Amino acid sequence: GEDVEQSLFLSVREGDSSVINCTYTDSSSTYLYWYKQEPGAGLQLLTYIFSNMDMKQDQRLTVLLNKKDKHLSLRIADTQTGDSAIYFCAESDPALIFGKGTTLSVSS
């Protein structure tokens, strides 16, 4: 079956770049998504990428897609303490299938 894998934790210092990685299995997914969840809150859509794209940039966020390796990454430039949260990647099948989430901890 479909499975989305992410590393569980990432710790960075304020001002550094963060890179969160994800692998997925369903090559037929049209879109791939990144969601953010802060404590006690629901999921906030951060960005998404169409499967025929290699890269998408949106302000501090850069998404890279390697379709051959089924690898997706989210880079956050100039990471701030307010970026501390859990980040989920998801593929559509058509329901969203989520990874277990990467907890990003930003220290000042």
Partner 1 sequence: KAGVTQTPRYLIKTRGQQVTLSCSPISGHRSVSWYQQTPGQGLQFLFEYFSETQRNKGNFPGRFSGRQFSNSRSEMNVSTLELGDSALYLCASSLGQTNEKLFFGSGTQLSVL
- Per the CB < 8 A criterion, the answer to whether 90 and 25 are in contact is no
Does residue 44 belong to the site contacting partner 1 (CB under 8 A)? yes
Region of 16-24, 29-37, 61-69, 74-82 interacting with partner 1 (CB under 8 A) = 29-37
31, exposed or middle or buried, with CB in 10 Å at 0-12, 13-18, 19+?
A: middle
Residue of the chain from 74, 99, 102, 104 that contacts partner 1 (CB under 8 A)? 99
- The residue among 32 and 79 lying less far from partner 1, judged by its C-beta, is 32
Residue of the chain from 24, 33, 34, 87 that contacts partner 1 (CB under 8 A)? 33
Does residue 96 belong to the site contacting partner 1 (CB under 8 A)? yes
Question: At closest approach, how far in Å is the CB of 101 from partner 1?
Answer: 7
Looking at the DSSP bridge assignments, the partners of residue 18 are: 76
In the three-class reduction of DSSP (H, G, I as helix; E, B as strand; rest coil), residue 6 is classed as: strand
Region of 16-24, 31-39, 57-65, 71-79 interacting with partner 1 (CB under 8 A) = 31-39
Residue of the chain from 7, 17, 19, 94 that contacts partner 1 (CB under 8 A)? 94
- Per the CB < 8 A criterion, the answer to whether 63 and 49 are in contact is yes
Distance in angstroms between the alpha carbons of the first and the last residue of the chain: 41
